[in-house]
Structure 1
Amino acid sequence: MNNYDTNFDLKHIWHPYSSMCNPITAYPVISAKKIYLKLSNGKRIIDGMSSWWSAIHGYNNPILNRALKKQINKMSHVMFGGITHPPAIALCKNLILLTPKELECIFLADSGSVAIEVSMKMAFQYWQSLGFVKKVFLTIKNGYHGDTFAAMSVCDPKKSMHNIYNNWLPKHLFAKSPKSKFGKKWLSEDINSFYALLKENHKIIAGIILEPIVQGVGGMNFYHPNYLYEVRLLANSYKIPLIIDEIATGFGRTGKLFAYEYANIVPDILCLGKSITGGTMTLSAVISTRHIAEVISQGICKCLMHGPTFMGNPLACSVANENIKILKKNHWQKQVKNIEKQLIYSLLPLNSHEKVYDVRVLGAIGVVECKYIINIKKIQKFFVSQGVWIRPFKNLIYITPPYIIDKKSLKKLTNAIILSLNYNDFFYINL
């Protein structure tokens, strides 16, 4: 590590959710291949996070690399305003084939948060084009949708990392988070809070936005598919657009290609991101029904008022197309199912551990919810010493490994989690 100016990094470089006064150690990674990150001291560690859900095929995949190299020799980028190109057309064809037939119109954005912003703009413009002013969104507590302002406004207003911005954010409606857990008994009264808010406020609600089945950074809760199904029925009855945020869950992570499939529903607007390029580049997509697109296009502006500079980036589109091919070739369903089986076997016994509140597994997601807040700096150092990369937050230790991970490596990840629970100084037990 001495070959790298980590002191400069600590003093001058912001990392996600970090402090410039008391920063958490940033470990220098010099290369990555398959499931491994190589540190500057030569140590290889197994990545249990898939670079925050995205690197589903691991790193330095030769097929994805070839796609990037082939495209960069033609053009790395060209503005999408008034111009189109084969990689974008091919990607949109692929996405239409992967999603329900009702979803026809695609906006290619440049990050997950921007996709959420675009979807919310679509809902606003939809109603504006119909002659209504609707400014409020309905969602559920414990949700997370991104770090930009509109996205933050539909994250949990009290428990999310964004609650410090509450005085600046638009005020939206938050129903109680579902109590019915995935794989457990459905509690029909679960939908009552949502229904009550919708019934009372439907005249001002522009859209409904939800993470399907898995609530991510808001607490890694896995809720019952019936809840999502009931939300779809209510959205239909009040004719309010339903936005589904599949940015984290999309492309197989939960065991379905898209998590909303567990509820057998179709959203009006679908947001995709993260693993859309196999974790190689930033890209997102917002896919709407033809009806919503046409209403917006016939409204006051005659167009959707959004256009990022790097929208439809050719490099990102090219690698996204290859990513979809790899998903099909690698039989992602079998990969994810194998990960799920091993996570269930290794992690579920932790339910009896004195420091553990709950253990949850769905697809290639494993969550250990602890009874205490975690000392991230200390536990991170321990995980690295064990040869793994796991990034906990709050009281949650979770892993979202690459689909290509082997049994031995996955066992190393789960063993590191099990061992970490034996150290009291990794947890703020007295809080």
Structure 2
Amino acid sequence: MDIFDQQHIWHPYAKVPNPIVAHKVQSADGVCLNLDNGKRVIDGMSSWWSAIHGYNHPVLNKAITKQLAKMSHVMFGGLTHQSAIDLAKTLVAITPDNLTKVFFTDSGSVAVESALKIALQYWHNKGEKNKQKFITIRAGYHGDTFGAMGICDPDNGLHQLFCGVLPQHYFVKSPSTVTMDEALKDLEATLKQHSNAIAAMILEPVVQGAGGMLFYNPQYLSKAKALCEQYQVLFILDEIATGFGRTGELFALEYVNLEPDILCLGKALTGGYMSLGTTLTSDKISSTVGTLMHGPTFMANPLACAVANASIELLLNSPWQDNIARIEKHFYRALSPLKENDKVADVRILGAIGVVEMVDDIDVEKTQNQLIENGVWLRPYGKLLYTMPPFNITDDELSTITNAIKAVI
């Protein structure tokens, strides 16, 4: 424990002083974190979805070191560089065919902010200046910046405190909590009544992350997109958490081969090495938007772009589908039986995501200490004990994670 850290540094969703000790990491390698107390723990969180190749990877280290020798950063206003060009080419090649324009940001939340601004500018330039609202499903999460907070679940999300000052948008039933038919009826009724005020619909495809680690039928995406087209509402997908293989498809939209109007990416984009986000859109939208009034200082950071290029190449040249299938199979075998435990409300598994929802709230500090004693790092919240490990994790390391979860329960 570092006393200065505990007394002076704000950690995510925590107070200062922090009553829950933050465990100090000395180094990281493979899929493990080395703590300053000598404990070596498997990171079952991939540093919040991002470190899909684990830590201290020689290929990624080399890419970032090579770029560092050239330049660490250069402004993107009036300048460009090869790492950004190469990354944009790759993203255009691996995402749906309609997505041909790339806007770089410095984080996933800002990628969402950019998407919202693109949608608003699009309708403004088409003379539809009343289209200033957004529609989304409940139990969603899209980031912690102000625009993103406004489209997170207003009742059960992380930002209830700010509801009084956030823009008011439209929230409809989620297919993760009601039947798909009921969710679609609610969406259509809301669009029918308010589409003249709605610029776009935004969704996390298939997996709703921080809003509850909930999964839903991918067919909802196709049907929701059709309704949005019918009522002239743009369709934005937030794949910041789901992108780059986590669900078993390279992008979750591939479950139904859907082409969104706007796509947000982040987290695993750089393999967890640097903060970087991207917002992709179509020729039709970019030509209407024209000059996008947005320009983060560190957009298209060369180090981040270089390591993103290396991370994507490393992923695509690996047997990642086999690895995800192997992880999913292990989770089904090891975690599904926990449904029979009286303390467990549900177990949900998709790709390299394993979720155990408890009946009661979890004592975070006690649970984390137990997990560390069992050689594992997880970050539970609310009633959720979940894991999304790096894709290169071994079967033995997977067993360590699932055995630790069982021991805690």
Give the TM interval when normalised to the shorter protein.
Answer: over 0.9
**Residue identity in the other structure for 2:214:** N
CA distance in 2, matches of 1:250, 1:279: 13
Matched residue of 1:202: which SS?
A: helix
Q: Under a length normalisation based on structure 1, what TM-score does the superposition of the two structures give?
A: 0.93
Match of residue 7 from structure 1: 3
Find 1:243's aligned residue among 236, 239, 248: 236
Query: CA-to-partner distance for each residue in 1:325-345, whole Å, 9 max, x for gaps?
Result: 100121211111110000010
Identity rate, percent: 52
User: Which residue does 1:88 correspond to in 2?
Assistant: 84
Sort the Cα spacing of 1:259 and 1:232 in 2 relative to 1 into closer, same or farther, 3 A. Answer: same
AA at the equivalent of 2:153: D
How far apart are residue 180 of structure 1 and its match?
7.0
Does structure 1 residue 37 correspond to structure 2 residue 33?
A: yes
- What letter matches 1:68 in structure 2? I
**Partner of residue 382, structure 2:** 394
Distance, in Å, in 1 between the alignment partners of 2:119 and 2:20 is: 39
Mapped contact 2:172–2:183 kept (Cα < 8 A): no
User: Does residue 65 of the first structure (1) align with residue 61 of the second (2)?
Assistant: yes
Opposite residue 132 of structure 1, the aligned amino acid is E
Cross-structure match for 1:149 = 146
Amino acid at match of 1:174: F
Q: Distance in 1 between matches of 2:313 and 2:269?
A: 11
CA distance in 2, matches of 1:322, 1:27: 30
Find the partner of 1:170 among 160, 167, 172.
167
How far, CA to CA, are the matches of 1:12 and 1:232 in structure 2?
46
In 2: Cα distance, 1:296 partner to 1:51 partner: 35
Q: Structure 2: how far apart are the matches of 1:97 and 1:16?
A: 35
Cα distance in structure 2, aligned partners of 1:54 and 1:86: 24
Shift of 1:22: 4.3
1:105 and 2:93 are equivalent in the alignment:
no
What CA RMSD, in Å, does the superposition of the two structures yield over aligned residues? 1.1
Choose which of 307, 316, 320 in structure 1 pairs with 2:308: 320
Indicate conservation of the 8 Å contact 1:242/1:267, yes or no. yes
Aligned to 1:337: 325
For residue 24 of structure 1, report the CA deviation from its aligned partner. Answer: 1.3
User: Structure 2 counterpart of 1:9, which letter?
Assistant: D
Which amino acid in structure 2 is aligned with residue 258 of structure 1? Answer: F
Task: Output one character per residue of 1:18-72: Cα deviation in whole Å (capped at 9) or x when no partner.
Answer: 1114431100101000101001122110000000000000000000000011000
CA distance, structure 1, for counterparts of residue 379 and residue 37 of structure 2: 20
Q: Which residue of 1 aligns with 2:189?
A: 196
Q: Which residue is 2:74 aligned to?
A: 78
Partner of residue 256 from structure 2, selected from 244, 260, 263:
263
Secondary structure, aligned partner of 1:408: helix
The answer to whether the 8 A contact 2:83-2:302 is kept is yes
For structure 2, list consecutive stretches of 5 or more residues without a partner in the other structure: none
The answer to whether the 8 A contact 1:110-1:282 is kept is yes
SS in 1 for 2:101: strand
**In structure 2, do the counterparts of structure 1 residues 166 and 34 end up closer, same or farther at CA, with 3 Å as the change threshold?**
same
Q: What is the distance in 2 between the residues matched to 1:23 and 1:280?
A: 29
SS in 2 for 1:88: helix
2:44 is the counterpart of 1:51 = no
| Aligned AA (2:393) | I
Normalised by the length of structure 2, the TM-score is: 0.98
User: What is the identity, as a one-letter code, of the residue corresponding to 1:343?
Assistant: F
Structure-2 residue corresponding to 1:311: 299
State whether structure 2 residue 222 is matched by structure 1 residue 226. Answer: no
Shift of 1:294: 0.3
Contact 2:7-2:18 within 8 A present in 1 as well: no
User: Between Structure 1 and Structure 2, how many residues are aligned?
Assistant: 408
Counterpart code for 1:245? D
Q: Deviations over 1:274-325 (max 9, x none)?
A: 000000000010000110000011xxxxx00000000110000000000011
Local SS of the residue matching 2:100: strand
Q: 1:317 & 1:118 partners in 2: Cα distance?
A: 18
Q: Identify if the C-alpha distance between structure 1 residues 179 and 283 changes in structure 2 by more than 3 Å, giving closer, same or farther.
A: closer
Please say if residues 374 and 396 of structure 1, whose CA atoms lie closer than 8 Å, have aligned partners that are also in contact: yes
Aligned to 1:428: none
Instruction: Tell me by how many angstroms 1:269 deviates.
Output: 0.2
Runs of 4 or more off by more than 6 Å in structure 1? none
Aligned residue among 152, 155, 159 for 1:158: 155
The CA distance in 1 between the partners of 2:254 and 2:194, in whole Å, is 28
1:180, 1:224 within 8 Å by CA — same for their partners in 2? no
- Indicate conservation of the 8 Å contact 1:46/1:389, yes or no: yes
Which residue of 2 is the match for residue 119 of structure 1? Answer: 115
* Unaligned residue ranges in structure 1 (runs of 5+): 298-302, 422-431
Which whole-Å deviations, capped at 9, do the CAs of 1:163-200 have from their partners, x for residues lacking one? 1100110000000111478xxxx743331111111111
